[in-house]
Amino acid sequence: MNPSPLQTAILFHIGIVPISRTVVTTWGLMAVLSVASWIVTRSFRVDAGGWQAMVETVVAGIEEQIAALLNRDAAPFLPLLGTLFIFLVVANLCGIVPGVTAPTASIETPAALAAIVFLSVHFYGVRIQGVGAYLKGYLRPNPVMLPFNILSELTRTFSLAMRLFGNIMSEEMAVAIIVAMAGLLVPIPFMAFGILVGLVQAYIFSVLATVFIGGGIGAIKK
């Protein structure tokens, strides 16, 4: 049993690398998502059936949201941002399964995702605008704003991670406290509320990541 809900539980080590419960849960989610995607997409036909129609609707909806936010073709950004949204939905909601802890309730997962978003902003910005044009963006509206722009990059990444971690961790902790105090059935409304929170947080994280990347590529004013 964890001494603290904020403590990362180490299940085993591979060499010197400690493997935590969060990482193992993430591997499980990765396996589920990959196998489910493979099973569903291997039988894709032009005349879509029930599952295929649902999957296509979800993917097309994500692509339309990205295109609407970036005002451009969403295809180059779909793998990263689409995976981010799907992973966050699954990761946030897996906490309702008994015995499973949401990976996003551990600070390392939101921090890793936020770090990837941070790096993706620079990657796409340099790739699409070029190094010079991208770096000049930090001098606008005037060079005096350079330190503030850099600080803004760091703080928004930090806030992105902390927002997700705080919401999911606090929701799980609240459910755990209520279960410990009130029994089995009382936490159900809180768990339903947790579903809503998980979906909203996944959406907020994905939208903010899209907005940040849009700012990096010049599609959105910073």
Contact set with another protein (CB under 8 A): 4, 6-8, 17-20, 22-23, 26-27, 30, 33-34, 37-38, 41-42, 44-46, 48, 52, 55-56, 59-60, 75, 78-80, 82-84, 86-87, 103, 106-109, 111-113, 115-116
Shortest distance (Å) from residue 96 CB to another protein: 21
| Separation CA 168–CA 155 (nearest Å) | 20
DSSP state of 102: -
Beta carbon nearer to another protein, 41 or 152: 41
Q: Which of 219, 198, 34, 12 is nearest to 121 (CA)?
A: 219
Q: Which two tokens stand for residue 170?
A: 């606090």
Shortest distance (Å) from residue 79 CB to another protein: 4
Task: Report the run of H or E that residue 158 belongs to, with start and end.
Answer: helix 146-182
**Direct distance between the N- and C-terminal alpha carbons of the chain, in angstroms, rounded to an integer:** 45
Beta carbon nearer to another protein, 23 or 187: 23
Shortest distance (Å) from residue 136 CB to another protein: 29
Beta carbon nearer to another protein, 118 or 134: 118
- SS3 call for 7: coil
Shortest distance (Å) from residue 221 CB to another protein: 27
Q: b/e for 145-167, b at 16 or more Cβ within 10 A?
A: eeeeeeeebeebbeebbebbbeb
Beta carbon nearer to another protein, 114 or 187: 114
